[in-house]
Chains A and B, each alone.
Chain A
């Protein structure tokens, strides 16, 4: 199974809401990633988890809170977002420690903040 799944596919939330994005993979990958992608732009790395520990935080605002409860799951908790946070949020996974490891991406969650 080489699939990364993400839920929900679409999410509309107000600036005072709290919501979570979920990501799951069963490829045994121990590195998982969150990216943010605006229209017609490349993905921007937000967070990297390695062996369920946060290894990279690309200076992301605290209104985004990642969580890796186990080796298959990755969550992104959202709170008090701004309209400019509207974007496609992509999850990815890969093997750890291999510089030639390809990343497997999920289909993304399209987030709209109103």
Chain B
């Protein structure tokens, strides 16, 4: 089942601008992860945020988590053409097995 859901949007920005995308989910989670997928390729893990964390940074990435609203956001600062990709959030449930539930994904295009 697809639990994490992003706003179904395609984002087109100029190089150097910031890109923000959102994700919402429905059930209690242990953690939420963001993955990037370049066109027709495998997914690459970007960052993980635990349910007891509110914000996390990794390089140009900033992730926030609001468990009261069951939502997360991913911010990419100072975007580059190489950031052009699809971005998926995926949740791991608080109970049960460790399977990832992927959201719909956001297509980001960074124009040089």
Binding site for B on A (CB under 8 A): 4, 31, 40-45, 48, 55-56, 88, 90, 92, 94, 97-108, 110
Q: Number of contacting residues on B, CB 8 A? A: 24
Bound together, the chains give a CA A41 to CA B37 distance in angstroms of 11
B13-21, B63-71, B75-83, B100-108: which one contacts chain A? B100-108
Are A110 and B43 in touch, CB under 8 angstroms?
no
Complex interface bits, B30-44 against A, C-beta within 8 A gives 1, otherwise 0: 110101000011111
Chain B, range 82-112, C-beta contacts under 8 Å to A: 88, 92, 97-100, 102-105, 107
Binding site for A on B (CB under 8 A): 2, 30-31, 33, 35, 40-45, 48, 50, 88, 92, 97-100, 102-105, 107
Bound together, the chains give a CA A100 to CA B92 distance in angstroms of 8
Residues on the A chain within 8 Å of B98, using CB: 31, 94, 97-99, 101
Residues on the B chain within 8 Å of A101, using CB: 98
Are B41 and A56 in touch, CB under 8 angstroms?
no
**A4, A56, A88, A101 — which one has the most chain B CB atoms within 10 A of its CB?**
A101
**A43, A55, A56, A110 — which one has the most chain B CB atoms within 10 A of its CB?**
A43
Residues on the B chain within 8 Å of A110, using CB: 40
Residues on the B chain within 8 Å of A31, using CB: 98
Are B31 and A45 in touch, CB under 8 angstroms?
no
Given A42-B88, A100-B31: A108 in contact with B41 (beta carbons within 8 A): yes
Are B50 and A105 in touch, CB under 8 angstroms?
no
Given A99-B98, A100-B50, A102-B33: A43 in contact with B45 (beta carbons within 8 A): no
